[in-house]
Amino acid sequence: MVLLVHLLPSIESPSRREGFFLIEQIVWNIFFSTLSAAASREREFCNQVNCLAELIMSGRIVERDYQPRQSSSRGEVSVIQKDSHWQSDSIRNFYSSSAEEKCREMGKSSAVSLSVDSFGVMKDPMTKKEETVWIYTWRNAISCVTVKVISYGATILAIEAPDKNGVLQDVVMGFDTLEGYFNPLNPYFGATVGRVANRIANGKFFLDGKEYHVAKNWNGKHHLHGGIVGFDKFNWTGFVDGNALILSHFSPDGFEGYPGDLMVQVRYELTPDDALKINFSATTSKLTPINLTNHSYFNLGGHDSGSEEIYKHLVVINADKITETDAESIPTGKLLDVGGTPFDLRSEKALGVAFKATTANGYDDNFCVTKYTDGLTFVARAVHPTSGRFLEVYTDQPGVQFYTANFLPDPEDAAAAKLHGKGGGLYSKHGSFCFETQKYPDAVNHANFPSTIPQARRNLSPHLCLQIRL
């Protein structure tokens, strides 16, 4: 029912194949939601009531504002208006007007709220129709952590977190306005990339005995991050389910050269203990490669604090091998042991020291996760000692691309274009890093790599689960 209420009104004159996938998505969601709905409601009700009672008894609640759920006329966004809180059958959210002052003494009781507002207007790359882009904001009144996601590209716009002294700073790269994301210099800041993240050699692959050609948007020779108009360039359809945001996108057969109609979803949720959970799922009509990831750029010293603070970060990556690449960053098919090399980040190393040991003076490499299993596995950790902030990444994927913004404008190059982000901050080479959880790059052309081809052609199944802790 979640998708029935939301998706159908948001698509004008859907084709038969789009309708088929919407119905299939609905059936799967009804099936899974029916199994857990009753238990989930009871558990949520108990947790929220107990937490609210605790805060009231302690005198920590200064202001409460409960409002009924608001829905848009077209069904595109069925959540609250800006800065309000809503409830269904149980108490959903509450907040303290003085949460920022009290967050240090209130412990870990749940107080996460989710609101929505418009962020701008864009034209759909395919239909050229104008669409409203929405911004979704989670706020944890206890820890003061704030996360913002926009529907354009299913993009993480901001993650604000306190340092050890309680000072809030945004720790991901991005822009203040929608127009900033249209900048040709935007290197996928915070975006969901696909249909296939990372590279496909020579922009081609064979599948079921047929050769497919995809856009060559990397050095005019190779395919990168889904092509010229990847998933990051579309406005995704949003639906809020409790404290989770579900964004959906339909990609037709043949778009950017890929076979099969594809319906993809990404689910964002900020938990009370400040874990940002990101889950992908997809349904396809044909065998097709799928490799989705989030491309957030982090600097735990502050989004605009530059390479000076990046060099202070201590990094650990749970990987004993990397995929060997050629001079164009295309995998050769070989896996290399990291022992005795600059890629051995199994124990904590300062990035400033590690950078100097690499021949490329930075990282842009796929690390093969050690003891990869079907469940969540610890992948990486980054610590910024000065602020005390840390980031941990868990995934069910076999690889993680560690990228240190090597291709952003070089501040020492006077002729290089300048890239300004939020608050006018200057974003430059080595001023941030990415942990892109994924299947291995160019896996569709290497039989010895974990496959990017789903086993079932028409099966709604989890694709990736990423957990970030601050």
Of 154, 132, 157, residue with least CA distance to 146: 157
d(CA 155, CA 54): 35
Identity of the amino acid at 408: L
Which residues, other chains included, contact 123 with Cβ-Cβ below 8 Å and sequence gap of 6+? 129, 130, 131
Of 178, 75, 72, 81, residue with least CA distance to 120: 178
Catalytic residue among 44, 256, 309, 436: 436
Of 264, 280, 253, residue with least CA distance to 15: 253
Q: Is 127 helix (H, G, I), strand (E, B) or coil?
A: coil
Which residue has 């694709």 as its token pair? 463
Catalytic residue among 6, 249, 295, 384: 295
Q: Is 309 helix (H, G, I), strand (E, B) or coil?
A: helix
* Partners of 131 in beta bridges: 122
Is position 54 annotated as part of the catalytic site? no
Of 286, 309, 266, residue with least CA distance to 404: 309
d(CA 219, CA 328): 8
Q: Hey, how many other C-beta atoms are within 10 angstroms of the C-beta on 461? A: 12
d(CA 317, CA 379): 6
Residues 175 and 181: beta-carbon distance below 8 Å:
yes
Beta strands in 348-449 (DSSP E): 349-350, 364-369, 377-384, 389-395, 399-403, 419-420, 426-427, 434-438
Of 95, 93, 116, 117, residue with least CA distance to 106: 95
d(CA 299, CA 429): 12
Beta strands in 74-221 (DSSP E): 86-87, 112-123, 130-140, 146-150, 155-162, 168-170, 191-193, 199-200, 204-207, 210-213
Distance of CA 389 to the CA centre of its chain: 19
Which residue has 């990987």 as its token pair? 319
Is position 436 annotated as part of the catalytic site? yes
Provide the annotated active-site residues: 295, 436
